[in-house]
Structure 1
Amino acid sequence: MRSYPVIKNVATRRGRVLVECCVSLVLLAGGSTLILVLSTTTAFLVDEARQQDTVLRETANQFALLDAAPCAITSASTNINVGPRIRMSVAAGTSGGLAHVSVRTIWVSSGYGGALPHHHAISSAARCE
């Protein structure tokens, strides 16, 4: 049978355990804070990428008619709410034998990221024959 040495100075050991517990709590709090910061930053980046993807996808949808049948374009202007934070303004028209579509988009980043508006504008034209 193995015998364990008796701790002669119990008060010293209790003090060491208290210090070890305090150090482990500080390390745990620091690690938790680091994980929270990383996950928050990742969430902002994912939200930004998702918003940009939605804007580009909807812009491509607006140009689909211009690509397929430029002669079917009529003069019109519309405002579209694509999502809760994306507003798109589409202006289409013709001049002579040229049909053109202009898309302007404003979207807001996540509210926790300062809510700065982003702008995206693109226009295209096609000859109607």
Structure 2
Amino acid sequence: MAKDDFTIRIGGDTAIGGVISTGENFTTAAARTGFRTFTFRTYPSEIKGGHAWFQVRISSRPVYSLGDGCDILITFDQQAYQLHHGDLNEGGVLIYDSDLVQPAPDGDIVRYGIPFQKIARQELGFVRGTNVLILGVMAGLF
């Protein structure tokens, strides 16, 4: 992705692992490499768990808003996909848990289905390591 201004949205159930921390860690990495960032996050109304999302706009120039829609959408579950896929810009990238999300064949979207939780459980030994796995996927793709 050869853009110098793009938006990433991450959504899912916070009880499963790391929606907010994935966004925060990616934002920190981008800022430390010299990019400008602008973030927004939601928190679930439930004490433990519930849907939340994190959005970050990353640019080589100063950023004053979240922008329109998102260029990269990462969904931890079907609910996140249902809530946010309509905001994915044409030509955007959808990264999703292939065991939990069934995306619709819509538009000019690049799709990467990866069984996040299964890999985290089998290879890392704990499901809450999903956020680290997703950061690795993002680093490899972009």
Which structure shows the bigger proportion of residues in helix conformation? 1
Task: Check whether TM > 0.5.
Answer: no
Q: Which has the higher contact order (CA 8 A, sep 6+)?
A: 2
Instruction: Report the TM-score when normalising by structure 1.
Output: 0.28
Instruction: Report the TM-score when normalising by structure 2.
Output: 0.26
